Structure 1
Amino acid sequence: MIERGKPVPSVGTKLVTADGVQDTTSDAILGQGTAVLFTVPGAFTPTCHVNHLPGFVTNAAKLRAAGVDRIVCAATNDHHVVKAWAEATQALDDIIFLADGNGALAKALGLEKDMSGAGMGTRFARAALIARDGMVDAVFVEDAPGVTATGAPAILMALEAVA
């Protein structure tokens, strides 16, 4: 797993915006300023859809007030599914979405999780990280089902602790 003090890896991914989808790299999105990246096993999956993403949308203004320049959600889904999810949740004004369809970013971050037993293949573990100017400042990974350590309230507390 990526650790504090390590650079954000440069991995090709798909950036999903209101205007469409474009190729980008993880370091282009996370490499400048302060970014919060939260990773989800899958768009539209119950916990991701009901608990994880909405907390970041609801707390977007508070995160920005705490110095966050970009809030980024990465999902191990193809860009069509991620775009549909971003639009369905009306989160595109607050959240930058990355589609990691092949799991390359999940693997590069060491945040991949084998969910084959549930018929989902390899996905992102539920995690969050804070990056400052392309360097990882903190990493949080859920050790049980649900959203506690990686939700927006926990990230806000982590940001306040170093402020």
Structure 2
Amino acid sequence: MTIAIGEKLPSATFKEKTADGPVEISTDALFAGKKVVLFAVPGAFTPTCTLNHLPGYLDNRDALLAKGVDDIAVVAVNDWHVMGAWAQQTGGMDKIHFLADWDGAFTKAMGLDADLSAGGLGVRSKRYAMLVEDGVVKSLDIEESPGQATVSGADAMLERL
């Protein structure tokens, strides 16, 4: 069952690459007492994710923060090495959180997993964006097609805010 607006995020621990190596970051540490934009991609380095979805959030980071957002994070069912390399290559390191849901536990607990085996990707995340306040989902927009980033894009999030 897909998480719904008004529900608390499931408890999870992600890995994130830092200058000192990988660190673990819990949902409590990331979301407690904060207003956070969380968006998910089917995979780091995939075309729509790299060329469309992520750049919108990087380009609009300051505008989102100016609207009262405390933090921005992207999550994918990838390992922290891949997420860290993606952060570095795209210029996103230290601008937003690049969260590795390496085993898909968080994604599955939210009911937002997608079997993309037909495309050679295995089980990944659906593409979505949500606004989370103090760990509670305030808005959730899921893309109908993983190859699009419209309702889950930064422009749509800015309009919601």
TM-score, normalisation: structure 2: 0.94
Provide the rounded CA distance (Å) in 1 between the counterparts of 2:22 and 2:12.
16
Offset at residue 85 of structure 1 (A): 0.5
**Structure 2 residue ranges without an equivalent (≥5):** none
Query: Who is 1:110 aligned against?
Result: 111
Query: Who is 1:52 aligned against?
Result: 53
**Structure 1 residue ranges without an equivalent (≥5):** none
SS of the equivalent of 2:129 reads strand
Query: Residue by residue, what CA displacement relative to the aligned partner does 1:21-69 show, whole Å, maximum 9, x if unpaired?
Result: 1122223212221000000011100000000000000000000001100
1:6 aligns with 2:2: no
Runs of 4+ aligned structure 1 residues displaced above 3 Å come to none
Query: Residue by residue, what CA displacement relative to the aligned partner does 1:67-104 show, whole Å, maximum 9, x if unpaired?
Result: 10000000110111110100111102321110011111
Query: Who is 1:15 aligned against?
Result: 16
Provide the rounded CA distance (Å) in 1 between the counterparts of 2:104 and 2:126.
11
Query: Residue by residue, what CA displacement relative to the aligned partner does 1:113-133 show, whole Å, maximum 9, x if unpaired?
Result: 000111111001000110011
Provide the rounded CA distance (Å) in 2 between the counterparts of 1:52 and 1:31.
25
Asked whether the equivalents of residues 35 and 70 of structure 2 are also in contact (C-alpha less than 8 Å), the reply is: yes
Provide the rounded CA distance (Å) in 1 between the counterparts of 2:18 and 2:77.
16
Query: Who is 1:158 aligned against?
Result: 160
Asked whether the equivalents of residues 116 and 123 of structure 2 are also in contact (C-alpha less than 8 Å), the reply is: yes
Provide the rounded CA distance (Å) in 2 between the counterparts of 1:124 and 1:56.
18
RMSD of the alignment, in Å? 1.1
Asked whether the equivalents of residues 17 and 97 of structure 1 are also in contact (C-alpha less than 8 Å), the reply is: no
Query: Who is 2:91 aligned against?
Result: 90
Provide the rounded CA distance (Å) in 1 between the counterparts of 2:110 and 2:17.
20
Q: How many residues align?
A: 159
Asked whether the equivalents of residues 26 and 105 of structure 1 are also in contact (C-alpha less than 8 Å), the reply is: no
TM-score, normalisation: structure 1: 0.93
Asked whether the equivalents of residues 27 and 135 of structure 2 are also in contact (C-alpha less than 8 Å), the reply is: no
Offset at residue 8 of structure 1 (A): 1.4
Query: Who is 2:100 aligned against?
Result: 99
Which amino acid counterpart does residue 131 of structure 2 have in structure 1? Answer: I
Query: Who is 1:146 aligned against?
Result: 148
Query: Who is 1:39 aligned against?
Result: 40
Provide the rounded CA distance (Å) in 1 between the counterparts of 2:9 and 2:17.
19
Of 34-43 and 2-11, more deviation after overlay is shown by 2-11
The share of aligned pairs that are identical, in percent, is 46
Which amino acid counterpart does residue 131 of structure 1 have in structure 2? Answer: V
